[in-house]
């Protein structure tokens, strides 16, 4: 889940909003951590208790709701994957000078290969974890090199000079929106980790996944803040690349290529796996041939990028849109949590329910506000 969240969109959104808000973006990150935890703890616990994927649980809440949720998540995952493939191509271009389209095709081919080998799920896990460590280590290095104003960042995390609703909705959508919040839960269910006896392990896993993703965002934010606080401007064609280049020169720029590729390829794998895990419940043929569907999903994402391009604007836009999906997904799981015919004798914590309901309501209102006020500007 953590490596699925830390993708090209994650890197791009963090750099864009740091340049826009400066140290005040720390407040948006802090708020997003609370929202992310509330959403993920509620959703993961419900799915673990039932031992079912989200689409099945949603259908138990209301017939047809699972299909709606599956289509929303799959379409959001497909849109994100277009940006993920583009990010992989950009990363290999920066690191090794390959043409972007060549890098995108090679990376997509590698992603497909993970699903064609024996025990592809285990290979996917090992692959994602290994590159996740590479991603974190390199970004820590750049954050240290950029020398950010730590005191100012700490102050603005609780006393911001400016609050931007779009930034909060977008980074929440980029961390637990759309398919991402289900990525880890579906892997656990598919691995046979379910039932009330597994709740302790699942709760710790959900919290640690959010912790890893949030720590990574904070480190990247500090790296970008160190750059923009010196009055330097980020390249709008590739904002996070500018952070690495300004902080450490050409060496840092080449390192960024590895970071971008690592983030992108793990997200290609995560988005494809989780999006298809929703589609598998729609028809027996999709369940029977799910690995082939994953291959098609990655191939369509790659072809779409080759035809469309323009990843930066798409990555910010899709993060915001996936933030709008969260209230539907979370609300559905909260209803399921209190229906004995779905969860049996399990008693969902009242405090967690209240916090989840508050988050769903806040995200619905904030998402509606962003949809009305901010998203049209992203198309211009």
Lowest-confidence segment of 121-125, 136-140, 258-262, 295-299 by average pLDDT = 121-125
pLDDT tens digit sequence for 16-48:
999 999 999 999 999 999 999 999 999 999 999
Which has more confidence, 238 or 127? 238
- Whether 286 and 33 have beta carbons less than 8 Å apart is answered as no
pLDDT computed for residue 50 by the predictor: 93
How far is residue 244's CA from residue 252's CA, in Å, rounded to a whole number?
Answer: 5
- Whether 202 and 44 have beta carbons less than 8 Å apart is answered as yes
Instruction: Extract the tokens encoding 165.
Output: 């609703």
- Residue-range domain boundaries for the chain: 2-84+129-250+306-378
How far is residue 229's CA from residue 252's CA, in Å, rounded to a whole number?
Answer: 18
Which has more confidence, 228 or 314? 228
Which has more confidence, 313 or 364? 364
- Per-residue pLDDT for 294 more than 90? no
């Amino acid at each position: 889940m953590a490596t699925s969240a830390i993708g090209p969109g994650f890197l791009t959104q963090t750099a864009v909003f740091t340049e826009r808000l400066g140290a005040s973006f720390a407040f948006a990150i802090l708020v997003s951590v609370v929202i992310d935890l509330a959403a993920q703890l509620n959703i993961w616990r419900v799915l673990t208790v039932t031992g079912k994927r989200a689409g099945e649980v949603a259908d138990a809440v209301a017939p047809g709701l699972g299909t709606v949720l599956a289509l929303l998540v799959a379409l959001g995952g497909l849109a994100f994957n277009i940006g993920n493939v583009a990010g992989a191509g950009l990363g290999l271009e920066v690191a090794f000078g390959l043409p972007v389209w060549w890098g995108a095709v090679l990376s997509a081919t590698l992603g497909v290969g993970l699903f064609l080998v024996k025990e592809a799920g285990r290979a996917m896990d090992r692959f994602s974890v290994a590159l996740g460590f590479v991603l974190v280590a390199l970004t820590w290095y750049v954050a240290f090199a950029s020398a950010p104003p730590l005191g100012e960042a700490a102050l603005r995390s609780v006393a911001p000079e400016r609050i931007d609703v779009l930034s909060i909705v977008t980074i929440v959508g980029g961390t637990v929106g759309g398919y991402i919040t289900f990525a880890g839960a579906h892997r656990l269910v598919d691995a046979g980790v379910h039932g009330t006896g597994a709740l302790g392990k699942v709760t710790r896993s959900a919290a640690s996944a959010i912790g890893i993703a949030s720590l990574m965002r904070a480190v990247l934010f500090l790296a970008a803040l160190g750059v923009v606080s010196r009055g330097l401007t980020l390249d709008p064609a590739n904002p996070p690349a500018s952070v690495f280049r300004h902080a450490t020169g050409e060496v840092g720029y080449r390192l960024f290529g590895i970071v971008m590729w690592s983030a992108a390829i793990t997200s290609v794998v995560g988005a494809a796996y989780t999006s298809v895990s929703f589609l598998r419940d729609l028809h027996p043929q999709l369940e029977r041939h799910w690995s082939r569907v994953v291959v098609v999903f990655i191939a369509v994402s790659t072809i779409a990028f080759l035809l469309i391009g323009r990843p930066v604007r798409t990555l910010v836009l899709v993060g915001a849109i996936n933030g709008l999906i969260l209230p539907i997904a979370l609300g559905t799981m909260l209803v399921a949590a209190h229906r004995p015919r779905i969860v049996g004798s399990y008693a969902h914590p009242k405090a967690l329910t209240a916090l989840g309901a508050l988050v769903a309501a806040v995200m619905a209102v904030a998402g509606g506000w962003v949809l009305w006020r901010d998203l049209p500007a992203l198309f211009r």
